Structure 1
Amino acid sequence: MPAATVEDHAWGRIVTDAPQYRPVRVAMSYEPDEDPKAVRFDFPSGMGWTFPRELLESGLRAPARSGDVEVWPCGRVQAVVEFHSADGVSVVQFDTTVLRSFLRHTYAAAATAPKTT
């Protein structure tokens, strides 16, 4: 029996040089049958990044980077996820409660996944 896929949606804020931010809806997914150690963030533009789930968790406590993705806490209730691509850098700010909730869902799905030997 395949493990449950997790797909949560969250509003983030694209951070720019302008005094205002742009809200963006982000699809956060976890597919334990594909890669039990990775999560994916997809944007309406069609861009998406897959990165270690552990990076997201670590980055909520202290700055952390893996490949093209960097995560760090921003104050007490927000976190920043920075995505690097050939086109430049996208900086998106999230409420940490949303990211923690997503992580809880991924760990619950992983706990119910069948063990492979």
Structure 2
Amino acid sequence: MFSAPAPVEQITHARLIVSTHRSALLRVTLRYRADDPLAVRMVFPAEYALDAAEPGPDLPDADADVLTDPAGAAPADGVEWVFARQLLASGLDLPSGEGDVHVRPGLGQRTVVELRSPDGVALLQFDRTELRRFLWHSHLVVPEGQELRHLDCDRALAELLA
């Protein structure tokens, strides 16, 4: 019997940039699954969603609601953003992205991830080494260039049409 590879999950920290003088440290979960080989997931604390009752730590009410996914949903375990693994990989070295997610090198060993929704923009800084480690582990599960071998086209089409 064939069993699917275990998902890759890594907890890391990101700095949410609120202004030139204010930021907040967030605990972020990075996820990768072989059954969705083209995508990575970033899960942020639920208190940073638009429908959060309380603002995030050290942030005023107006800044607490900048993180929400494009659909406006806030799962119980956090706000999840899903985007292309290749976007994350290319953004470590060159500015990349169109639409809701942009990734680019930052100062020093930082990588900047910009998340856009109709409700606002979140600018986050990650340690580039942490993102590279996550991508390395994801490439152990599904090597770069082999994603289509793991893609279940029937399931993907069903989800798209649902």
Instruction: Verify same fold: TM over 0.5.
Output: yes
What is the aligned counterpart of 2:107 among 53, 63, 75? Answer: 75
> Which consecutive unaligned segments of at least 5 residues does structure 2 have?
47-77, 152-162
Contact 1:55 1:64 in 2 (8 A): yes
Question: Runs of 4 or more off by more than 3 Å in structure 1?
Answer: none
Secondary structure at the counterpart of residue 81 of structure 2: strand
2:7 corresponds in structure 1 to: 5
* Structure 1 residues 25-104: aligned runs within 5 Å: 25-33=27-35, 35-45=36-46, 46-104=78-136
Q: Deviations over 1:27-85 (max 9, x none)?
A: 1000111x101100010122211000000010011100143110000123101001111
Deviation at 1:20, TM superposition (A): 2.8
Q: Which has the larger radius of gyration?
A: 2
Instruction: Give the TM-score normalised by the residue count of structure 1.
Output: 0.89
Contact 2:116 2:122 in 1 (8 A): yes
**Inter-partner Cα distance in structure 2 for 1:30 and 1:103:** 9
**Inter-partner Cα distance in structure 1 for 2:150 and 2:113:** 32
Deviation at 1:90, TM superposition (A): 0.7
**Inter-partner Cα distance in structure 1 for 2:132 and 2:27:** 17
Q: Deviations over 1:77-111 (max 9, x none)?
A: 10100111121011110110000000001001114
Which structure shows the higher strand fraction? 1
Letter in 2 for 1:30: Y
Query: Higher relative contact order at CA 8 Å, sep ≥6: structure 1 or structure 2?
Result: 1
> Which consecutive unaligned segments of at least 5 residues does structure 1 have?
none
Instruction: Give the TM-score normalised by the residue count of structure 2.
Output: 0.66
| Identity among equivalent pairs (%) | 40
**Inter-partner Cα distance in structure 1 for 2:150 and 2:116:** 34
